[in-house]
Structure 1
Amino acid sequence: MFLNETQRLALPRLAGFIPYHPDGEISVWDFMTRPRSYESARHCVHSNGIQTPINTVLAYVFLRNTWRALCLLHTRKQSWANWSCFIQALVGVITACVNLSSIFPGGTSCRINLWVCSFGITVSAICVDICLLVKAYAAQNRDRRLIWVCGLLMAPQLAVIWIVWVESIMLNTEKAACIFLFPAYLPWFRFGLDVAINLLFSAVFLYAVYSQYTRLGRKCWRKLGEGGVVFLFAVVLSNLVCALITATGLFGPLSEMFFLIDWVVTSTLLVRQHESIRSAFVSSQQEITRAQVCTKRQTFKRMQ
């Protein structure tokens, strides 16, 4: 939901610069247990009855992805991409658990929940960009200019944390549970960042596909499939679609949830992409081993 300048300036501030709302400084439990009418209580239960299962599902998905990423990390600890997958999923687990704690007595406040969530979304975006950068860097024969360009495009992601923490307001509501009111430019700012860097990655990956096709012909599709390029394109598409939906507010207040949807989708896709690469590598190693065994057998028969 958008926040206008009049609303922002009218609210009290923590430490002189962080706007806050009294209803955002309490947990979901404290907000729900306030004395209220039957109709008001029904709205509270309904809204939190939606958010709580969502957070539970997020916790499960991120926990599963964390375990899968940890297995990948165990096989190759030096990989930046594997570390990025692991950190992205682990931060997701922490975020979901923090949000779930708010429904219990003594849980975290709405403001803390959304601060953690915004931090996690930013970390997720940076981790995704690092994963894509690693692949693009390899596809471009380790062109260092790509690192500098991507670094410049990734740096403004940190501004999202500042906008959410300092320019937005968090509060519990009866009909929408814990929400935050943000400046109207935030979704478009995030959309601009996502479009810029994802168009760059798309161009790099498309050029890699074209190069493979001109060199190998139709055989390139199998090679690209083993490299998980399809998953990389899906990650880019997810970023662009979710950013566009959030920026345009296509689904009304629910549009904000697409930040989290993109986080879950990209985490799952990146882990799956790395698993496909590992599977392809293991299969190729097995084929090489079989070929070596066959060669040794033939050599042994000739010697006899």
Structure 2
Amino acid sequence: MLLHSSPGVDYVAAAADDLNETRARYIGQSLQLFLSVLALWLFAYNLYRAISLAMWMRHFPVRLLCIVQAAAGVALSITSISTDLPGGADCHAAKWAGGVGLTLSTLCTEIMLLLKAYIVHDRPRWLLVLLVPLTIIQFGILWVIVGHAGFMLTTAHGCTVAFPAYYPWMRFALNGTVNATLSIPFLMVAVNYYRRYGSDMWACLSRDGILYMVCAIASNLAAALFSSFAWLGGMSEWMYFLDCT
């Protein structure tokens, strides 16, 4: 383990005198590169879908949020890939990219949930006030990542971020609560309209809304569990990539 921020290529080269260590570091960096490329493919596909959907969406804020969220994931993945390339980003830069990417992705999702509740409740102005605490919460999480998370290069896993012990559950408590709080007002209206009118549209909105809320909270919980108990070892923090997709 090395507590510095050099790119992965330099980290592998630093073990040139020990063939076994060089091989182990190379395998670790290759695994990280594979996961980064896989994440890039997922986020790039999401970006393509977001741009395609934006062509026919009426609401500009929703179009912008979809594109920004996917683009943040693409930028984060590219930064992660570059840590394994000559002249690429170091671990410290990857930590900043990860913090900003996670923050933007989560904030975009929460704003979209807020907009859904805002629209179905006939656009009450007071609901938009929730944008302020949402932003404060997410930038508070960003402050924890960039200010209190450590970073290191490890033989088995390449560039790894070590979050504070409280971070996974703090993130789950905040994001899970926000997801439920913003989803429930929309679902109340959707389910009520479905019961009243029996429309297939409201049935679909109700079903999809419930499914999204359950999946979002389950994803938040899975990321917290894997990170807190390190069930995947040094790869546990990659669950946050999946949480963003």
Q: Do they fold alike, i.e. is TM over 0.5?
A: yes
Structure 1 counterpart of 2:60: 79
For residue 247 of structure 1, the aligned residue among 218, 221, 224 is: 224
Aligned counterparts of 1:67 and 1:112: Cα–Cα separation in 2: 26
| Contact kept? 1:150, 1:197, Cα under 8 Å | no
Q: Deviations over 1:101-143 (max 9, x none)?
A: 1211111101111210111011000010111111111122212
Shift of 1:232: 4.1
Is 2:45 aligned against 1:64? yes
User: TM-score if structure 1 supplies the norm length?
Assistant: 0.72
In 2 relative to 1, CA 30–235 (structure 1 residues): closer, same or farther, beyond 3 Å? Answer: farther
Q: What residue identity is the alignment partner of 2:220?
A: A
Structure 1 counterpart of 2:146: 165
Is 2:184 aligned against 1:237? no
User: TM-score if structure 2 supplies the norm length?
Assistant: 0.87
Q: Provide structure 1 residue ranges, at least 5 long, that are not aligned to the other structure.
A: 1-20, 265-304
Shift of 1:27: 0.4
| Contact kept? 1:194, 1:239, Cα under 8 Å | no
In 2 relative to 1, CA 138–61 (structure 1 residues): closer, same or farther, beyond 3 Å? Answer: same
Q: What residue identity is the alignment partner of 2:223?
A: T
For residue 71 of structure 2, the aligned residue among 70, 81, 90 is: 90
Structure 2 counterpart of 1:24: 4
In 2 relative to 1, CA 173–134 (structure 1 residues): closer, same or farther, beyond 3 Å? Answer: same
Q: What residue identity is the alignment partner of 1:26?
A: S
Shift of 1:205: 3.0
Shift of 1:186: 1.1
Aligned counterparts of 2:34 and 2:208: Cα–Cα separation in 1: 27
Stretches (4+) displaced over 6 A: none
Q: What residue identity is the alignment partner of 1:236?
A: M
Query: Between the two proteins, what is the percent identity of the paired residues?
Result: 24
Q: What residue identity is the alignment partner of 1:191?
A: F
CA RMSD of aligned residues (A): 2.3
Q: Which SS does the other structure have where 1:106 is aligned?
A: coil
In 2 relative to 1, CA 207–89 (structure 1 residues): closer, same or farther, beyond 3 Å? Answer: same
Aligned counterparts of 2:208 and 2:92: Cα–Cα separation in 1: 35
Indicate the larger mover: 88-97 or 240-249: 240-249
| Contact kept? 2:194, 2:202, Cα under 8 Å | no
For residue 37 of structure 1, the aligned residue among 18, 25, 30 is: 18
The structure with the larger Rg is 1
| Contact kept? 1:238, 1:262, Cα under 8 Å | no
Shift of 1:231: 4.3
Aligned counterparts of 1:205 and 1:177: Cα–Cα separation in 2: 43
Q: What residue identity is the alignment partner of 1:204?
A: P
For residue 123 of structure 1, the aligned residue among 104, 107, 115 is: 104
Q: What residue identity is the alignment partner of 1:224?
A: W
Shift of 1:214: 2.3
Q: Provide structure 2 residue ranges, at least 5 long, that are not aligned to the other structure.
A: none
Aligned counterparts of 2:238 and 2:134: Cα–Cα separation in 1: 24
| Contact kept? 1:43, 1:174, Cα under 8 Å | yes
